[in-house]
Amino acid sequence: MSYQIGIDRSSAIHEITLASDASYTSGGTIALDGLASSHATGSVSLSSNVVTLAAGQYIINGSIAIDRTDLATDYSVDFYDNSDSSLLPISEGWMGSQSMTSTTSDSLVLQAQVSLTASVSFYLQGTGSAGTQKAVGTSLVILEL
């Protein structure tokens, strides 16, 4: 006698974007205003620059592009918990990004691989040089497993 065990799980892809360039101030929240999904799952939402993920497994890859006014100053972008403004920890899979001093690159890459037992709302916050956040080059791609 043989048995076949299967798990019915479908994946979804969500992309969070910025429609037009936005002013960026050091210590400010990264602007995000668009959400497109491969199909509706209700697991990912966006409101006022805050992304909410329902309980589940996610892989996030993103880039944030800021045309900096001062290339000599480092800048970084990290994931912050919207409930208490705390930095979401690398030990739980949240990996922000930091530029190198005097680099001419204005794009940062962020990543996360998380397994959530409860929903989480987060925002992205940057520090360092001010400038213009570019719509082209700002995107979070969320793979919902």
Query: Considering only CA atoms, which of 14, 34, 36, 18 is closest in space to residue 77?
Result: 18
Neighbour order of strands in the sheet with 120-128: 44-47, 50-53, 120-128, 75-81, 97-98
103 or 127, greater pLDDT:
127
pLDDT at position 75 is 80
Q: How confident is the model at residue 68 (pLDDT cuts 50, 70, 90)?
A: confident
- The answer to whether 18 and 38 are in contact (CB under 8 A) is no
Q: What is the mean pLDDT of residues 136-144?
A: 95
* CA pair distance 18, 21, nearest whole angstrom: 7
For the cut 80, the answer to whether the pLDDT of residue 83 exceeds it is: yes
**Domains present along the chain, CATH in parentheses:** 12-144 (2.60.120.40)
* CA pair distance 3, 7, nearest whole angstrom: 13
Q: How confident is the model at residue 94 (pLDDT cuts 50, 70, 90)?
A: very high
- What does R_g of the chain's alpha carbons equal in angstroms? 17
Residue with tokens 């360092």: 128
- The answer to whether 98 and 90 are in contact (CB under 8 A) is no
- The answer to whether 138 and 64 are in contact (CB under 8 A) is yes
Copy the structure tokens of residue 24: 């960026």
Copy the structure tokens of residue 6: 């299967």
What are the tens digits of pLDDT across the range 120-136?
999 999 888 788 999 99
Q: How confident is the model at residue 3 (pLDDT cuts 50, 70, 90)?
A: low
144 or 72, greater pLDDT:
144
Copy the structure tokens of residue 88: 């979401």
Amino acid in position 134: K
Q: Which of 56-60, 74-78, 99-103 has the highest mean pLDDT?
A: 56-60
The pTM of the whole model exceeds 0.85: yes
